[in-house]
Amino acid sequence: MSNINLAIVYYSSTGTNYQLSQWAAEGAKEAGAEVKVLKVPELAPQEAINSNPAWKAHLEATKDVPEVKLDDLEWADAIIISVPTRFGNMPGQMKQFLDTTGGLWFNGKLMNKVVSSMSSAQNPHGGQEATILALNNTFYHWGAIIAGPGYTDPVMFAAGGNPYGTSVTVNQDGKIVEDAKAAVKHQAKRTVTIAEWVKKGQQ
C-alpha cells in the first residue's frame, strides 16, 4: 500500500483534460495513492463560455470539482498537471495558478515533489510536447523531480508515443482519438512509484 499523496491539477474547457485526470486518478488509486482531483479557477469571461455550448456544459458538469489551493500542493508528495495546448504553451488559467506558488517555492515547500504532465490539442502536432516542456520550466524552478513516462511501457505507443507525458488529439466531435487510458494510468502509477522512492529515501 502506497503512502503517497497525489494532487492531480487540471484545466479543461470542454472535458478532455478532465477525462485524462480521471484516468490518472484511477491508475494512482490502483497503486495505493491518496488522490485529489482539482481544477484551477476559470478566468475566461462568461460571454466567451456562453458562446461555446460544449464549454458551458462542461463547466456546469464539473461545478462540484474542488478548486486547487496552495495547501493542496503542500499536502502532495506528487503532482500531475493536465492541460490543453494554447499556442504551444499552457492555458492562462494554469499559468495564473502556478504564478501564485512563489511563497511555497521561497519556503522550500515544493522541492523534491515528483511531478508529471499531460496535454491535448486538436492536431497531432498542435503543440502538446511544447506545452509539457513549458510546464517543466516551472518545475525546474521549484526544485521538483520530473517523472516523464518515457518509453517505459508499450502502452505509451497506443497513445501516440509521447515520452514527455501522455498527450492526445481531439477530433471535431470532441472525442479523444488515441487509445490513451492505459498510458495515462501507467504514467500515474509511475509518478506514484517514483514519489514512493523519493519519500523512502528522505526518511
Encode pLDDT of 93-124 as tens digits: 999 999 999 999 999 999 999 999 999 999 98
More confident residue, 81 or 124: 81
CA separation for the pair 6, 10 (Å, rounded): 13
Does residue 202 have a pLDDT over 80? no
Please name the amino acid found at residue 84: P
* Residues 6+ positions from 60 with CB-CB distance below 8 Å: none
Q: What's the half-sphere exposure (Cβ side, CA atoms, 13 Å) at 146?
A: 18
- Domain segments of the chain: what residues? 5-202
What are the grid coordinates assigned to 202, written together?
528522505
Instruction: Write down the pTM of the prediction.
Output: 0.96
Interval 162-199: pLDDT, tens: 999 999 999 988 899 999 999 999 999 999 999 999 99
Tell me what pLDDT residue 172 has.
Answer: 85
Instruction: Determine contact, residues 198/114, Cβ cutoff 8 Å.
Output: yes
pLDDT at 174: 86
Around Cβ 194, how many Cβ atoms within 10 Å? Answer: 18
Give the pLDDT band (50/70/90) at residue 203: low
Tell me which architecture the domain covering 5-202 has in CATH: 3-Layer(aba) Sandwich (3.40)
Residue 10 pairs in a beta bridge with 39, 82
Is the pLDDT at 1 greater than 70, yes or no? Answer: no
